[in-house]
Each structure stands twice: as structure tokens, then as C-alpha cells.
Amino acid sequence: MPISTKRKVVLWSLWISIVPVSLFFVYHTYPPPEMNAWNLLAYVLFFVVACLMPMNINGSSAYLVQWATVAVFLKYGIFAEILFSQLTVLIVTLRSRTAEPLSFRIPFNSLMFYAASLLAGIAFYAAGGQVGSLQLTHILAYGFIFQFVSFLANQLIFYFYDKSVGANPKFFSIDVIWDFAITLLVFPYALAIYISESYIGIPALLLLGIPFFIMTAIMKLYNSSEKINIDLKKAGEIGHQLAARLSTDEVLDQFVLQVADLFKADYAYVLDYRDNQLQMLRMFENNELLKNSVPPVRYNQGVGGKVVTTNKAIIYNRKSEWKDIVTGHLPIDSESIMAVPIARNNKTEGVLILGSRQKYAFTSRQLQILDILSTYFAVSLEKASYVERAIAISERCGLTKLYNYRYLDAKLEKSMKKITDGELNKLSLVMMDIDRFKGINDQYGHQSGNDILVQLARIIEEEVGEEGTCARYGGEEFVVLLPNYGKDLALLFAENLRKRIESHPFEIISDLDSERKLQKIQITLSIGVSTAPEDSDDGMALIRNADRALYIGAKQAGRNKVAAYAK
């Protein structure tokens, strides 16, 4: 049987065996005085309203019902106070949004409040306190005993429970200090309620309660606006950070990490919507970005599909609300979900999904802020894609799409610095030139020559793969940078490439042929190789050495050859 189930069984067994029986003895040992039904009803309504209007203190909800429970105890005794406290437990537990199930929280909280009420009441009577007294010093002294023992019992129960489940609690934590401050703050108000109600009846509850509830409502509104302002400020900061990113990968990574942190999400996913499919772009789970392992799904499937088809943001507070939707990627322990469309120019292009293991983890206020952030994200992503395209255009040869001389020069400089810093052991540069290319242009036309250059570029890319960098150096010359390639390995690469080109038929349509028929021609390459640091520790010298090997060792030796630079 799982541990959580055992705890539920133990708690409910304790509750059944302790609460009803001991409550019967409390009633007979400390019988309540005669009660006025209307007064009791007024107090019950008071309790319910207090439970429904918590204050937000130190970032968490505080239910300030002590002022009413103390007043009830001083007027009607321990039995009535226990009943009112149990009513408070039920309402607060049902309203609280935590991951723990109600079947656990209800008996635990009930037992905790019951024990605190019982201990505080017994301490009150043992010290000599009397229910119904209107003597101010008596009320102050014995009422404080009741309030303090109740507070202390609550904290001790929490402390020992946390230790029993393996936590490492601190008894004098900031939360305990806040609870004690609230207790001191509420205690005079509780005495004022009790004394006023004893003299003027129910109107006292209205005179003191209405201002209190109005103040609570105002503080709640103020706190909500403060939260919105804080989150909006953070959203603005995230927007500025996204705008500073110049690549789409950086924008995606930054956005997912920042949003997951802002909304305390356990999971975050960015889905791309195109070609009637939803493709995973980014996955954030267990506090890290993961490699995408989710296949594409139809655009109308799962939570993301619902956002796409409705073009509306959605919030699910617990799994029961979305468990029938096929999601395809949300972890099994997910509870709350918040999802918004990512739109550009009023067109949905993706979906952002946040998940939490907690129930009721997200609010409508957060949904609005997330919608704003998704707009920042879409704009930043578009800007980054423009920048990438502009950089690609400036770094690529317009004809062959290989890197150009500008990019090669910068790449070579960085690679040589790595050689100097010891980050790279060796670097080979392979320079190649098409033999008798001018004759090809003269015979078949310049467009045919361009066709050959493009086909050759694709073959070089295939041969190099991920091992190095390909660039068009100029005209019919090409250069390949091969990190961690020694001279022997670079010569082997060059020879294999030379043989492949020699045997490969290049297809052209001659501009100078009136019939413009498809023709196949053969070409050859002359190739020179130079290696750092053995040949040079300077980038430009490495190019000159390879060029020297190309023309002296290959061209002048009869063409269609590979030559290495020799000092």
C-alpha cells in the first residue's frame, strides 16, 4: 500500500476515534452556557465571510478568523469554539489550492485545529479563566493565554509533522514570526468584538465587522494590483532581453526559461504550427531544456490543438478538466495547464503550454500577462529570423550558397586563435581550383560555368559534411577548413575529393548551342594543402601556403593533382 494511502487511513482512523468521543466529553465537562440562536447565526455568518475573504500577507493567504474564534470562546466556551473552528477548517480546506488531496487535508487539519482548541481551552480553564466574564483584566490575561496556547500548539503540530515526513523545518522561521505578529494584531480586535457584542448584541458585529471586511477587500485589491505591476515589470524585462537576442535559438531558449521561472511552471513547451501539424520546438522539464523527442501531431490534437482551433488562451486548474484531451507530451503528474496562442499579424503560428504539478497553479491575471509575453516572443522571433537571414546573405555566396571570403577570413582567424590558445591541436586548409575553367566558359557559356560551380559546391558539401567549413574563395576557387585534421588526413580527404570530381559527369545546357541540349562534361581539380601549426601560425600565411602548393605542386605539375605545402 502506498505511503500516502497509509497516512490517509491512519489520519481518518485517528479522527474517528478521537474527535467524536472527546467532543462528547468536552460538552459534559465544560458545558456551554445558554445560547441565543440569532447571536449564534450572526457569528456563523461572520465566520463564513471571514473564511471567504482572506488577506494576502507575506505572499500567502491568511484567514484572520482568530478574532471571531476568541470572541466565541470567551462568550460560549470551548465546545462552541471547537465547533466554529471545525467549520473554519472545512471552508478553508475546501478553498485552499494545494497538491495534497482533500481526503488527506480534511482529517489532518481537523485534528490539528481540534488539538489546538482543546489544549488552549484546557489551559484557559486551568489558569482560572471564566467564560462570560466582562472584567477587562480577566479578559486580557486569560484571553491571551487561550490565544497564545492555541498559536503555540498549531506551530508545534506543524513542526513535528514536517519532521516526521523527512523535512528539515525551522521552528523560528519567517512564517512563524508572521503568524505570531498576526496573532498579536488580531487579539485586541477579538476582545473588542466580544465586549461590544456582550453589551449591544448583534449590531456590534456589524459595526466592527463591516469596516474590517471593507479593509480586507481593499487590501486584497491593492495586493492584486501590486502583483500585476510586479509581473508586468518582469514581463517588460523579459521582453527587453528577448529583443537583445540575435538568433532564433537564443530567443526560444531565453523565452522558455524566463517564462517557466516567472510563472513557477514545472513544464513548458513551445509548439510550431505549420502544414497542419504541431511540431515541438522547445521542451522544458525538470528545470532544464531537453532535446526534442516528441513527433509532430495533427494541428487539432491535444491542448495545443484546442488553442489553435479556437485561437483562444485556456487555463485548466486540475487534471480532471483536461484528462480526456489527447496531449501526446504532458507528463502524467501534470495538474494545472495554461496555454496561449503565439500570433503574428493576427495569424496563429504556434502555441505556448505551461504545466504544473500543483492544482490551481495559474490565474486569469497570469494568463493575460502570458498573452503579452507571447506577443513579445513572436516579435523577437521574427526580428531574430530577419537578422539571421541578413547575416546569412552577407556571409554566403549568392551563387553557390557556400560561405564567402568574408566569413572564411573571420572563421580562419578564430580557428588560428584556438590553435594559439591550445583549444585546437591542428587545422588544415584545403584550396582547390577547377582546371581550365576559362575554356569551359568560352566553349559552353558563362551560365554553364555557373551550373558547374553550383554542382561542385554541393559535392564538396557532401564530402566535408560536419567535419569542416566550405567556402567559395573567388572565381573557380574553393577552400575547406578542417579542424583537427593533420596533413596526412587532409591529403587523403583531398585525394578522395579529386577522384570523385574526376569521375563525376557534370550536367549543363550550353548557352552557345542553338539546340540547347542537356550535355555531360568532365572536369578536374588541382588541390593544395597546408596545415597549422607546422606550416604556419598565421591565417593569411596558411592561405598563401595552400595557394602556393596548389599552383606550384599541382597546376605546374600537370593539373588534376593534390600537393602539400613544403617549406
| pLDDT tens for each residue of 238-256 | 777 777 777 788 888 888 8
What are the DSSP calls for 94-126, one per residue? HH---SS-HHHHHHHHHHHHHHHHHHHHHHHHH
Would you say 85 and 69 are in contact if contact means Cβ atoms under 8 Å apart?
yes
Q: What pLDDT is attached to residue 225?
A: 66
Smallest CA-to-CA distance from 335 within 314, 312, 361, 313 is with: 361
Q: What pLDDT is attached to residue 389?
A: 75
Q: How far apart are CA 469 and CA 480, in angstroms?
A: 6
CA 326-327-333 angle, to 5 degrees, is 110
Residues of the chain with pLDDT > 90, as a percent, come to: 27
Q: What pLDDT is attached to residue 3?
A: 46
Q: How far apart are CA 541 and CA 503, in angstroms?
A: 32
Q: What pLDDT is attached to residue 33?
A: 85
Question: Above 70 in pLDDT, residue 135?
Answer: yes
Question: Above 80 in pLDDT, residue 230?
Answer: no
Handedness of CA 111, 116, 122, 125 (dihedral sign): negative
Question: Above 80 in pLDDT, residue 534?
Answer: yes
Confidence tier at 201 by pLDDT (50, 70, 90)? confident
Question: Above 90 in pLDDT, residue 157?
Answer: no
* Intervals of CATH 1.10.1760 along the chain: 3-200
Q: What pLDDT is attached to residue 2?
A: 44
Residues 553-565 have a mean pLDDT of 94
Residues 546-553 have a mean pLDDT of 94
What is the CATH number that goes with domain 3-200? 1.10.1760
3-state secondary structure 165-216: CCCCCCCCCHHHHHHHHHHHHHHHHHHHHHHHHHHHCHHHHHHHHHHHHHHH
Q: How far apart are CA 466 and CA 404, in angstroms?
A: 18
Q: What pLDDT is attached to residue 295?
A: 81
Average pLDDT, the chain: 84
405-564: CATH architecture: 2-Layer Sandwich (3.30)
Confidence tier at 550 by pLDDT (50, 70, 90)? very high
Q: What pLDDT is attached to residue 548?
A: 95
Range list of H helices, 427-538:
437-444, 446-464, 487-503
Q: How far apart are CA 261 and CA 240, in angstroms?
A: 16
Question: Above 90 in pLDDT, residue 10?
Answer: no
What are the DSSP calls for 254-287, one per residue? HHHHHHHHHTT-SEEEEEEEETTEEEEEEEEETT
Residue 422: CB atoms within 10 Å: 7
Q: What pLDDT is attached to residue 1?
A: 38
- Which one has a higher pLDDT value, 237 or 412? 412
- Which one has a higher pLDDT value, 162 or 566? 566
Q: What pLDDT is attached to residue 171?
A: 67
Q: How far apart are CA 511 and CA 518, in angstroms?
A: 11
Question: Above 50 in pLDDT, residue 283?
Answer: yes
Smallest CA-to-CA distance from 248 within 390, 388, 351 is with: 388
Would you say 563 and 557 are in contact if contact means Cβ atoms under 8 Å apart?
yes
Q: What pLDDT is attached to residue 224?
A: 64
Question: Above 80 in pLDDT, residue 436?
Answer: yes
Instruction: Give the chain's radius of gyration (CA, Å).
Output: 39
Question: Above 60 in pLDDT, residue 51?
Answer: yes
218 grid coordinates: 481593499
Q: What pLDDT is attached to residue 247?
A: 79
pLDDT digits (tens, 9 = 90+) for 21-39: 998 998 989 888 887 778 7
- Which one has a higher pLDDT value, 330 or 443? 443
CA dihedral 33, 34, 36, 37 (to 10 degrees): 100
* Intervals of CATH 3.30.70.270 along the chain: 405-564
| Entry pTM | 0.56
pLDDT digits (tens, 9 = 90+) for 378-389: 888 888 777 777
Residues 484-511 have a mean pLDDT of 94
Q: Which residue matches cell numbers 491593492?
A: 222
Q: Which residue matches cell numbers 469554539?
A: 81
Q: What pLDDT is attached to residue 101?
A: 72
What are the DSSP calls for 38-56, one per residue? HHHHHHHHHHHHHHHS-EE
Question: Above 80 in pLDDT, residue 185?
Answer: no
Q: What pLDDT is attached to residue 192?
A: 84
| Of the listed ranges 71-80, 455-464, 471-480, 526-535, the one predicted with least confidence | 71-80
Residues 398-413 have a mean pLDDT of 91
Q: What pLDDT is attached to residue 318?
A: 84
CA count, 13 A, side-chain hemisphere, 448: 25
* Intervals of CATH 3.30.450.40 along the chain: 248-390
Q: Does domain 248-390 have CATH number 3.30.450.40?
A: yes
Q: What pLDDT is attached to residue 67?
A: 66
Q: How far apart are CA 415 and CA 411, in angstroms?
A: 6
Confidence tier at 72 by pLDDT (50, 70, 90)? confident
Residue 72 to residues 51, 138, 187, 261, 432, Cα–Cα distance (Å): 15, 16, 13, 44, 96
Q: How far apart are CA 485 and CA 532, in angstroms?
A: 9
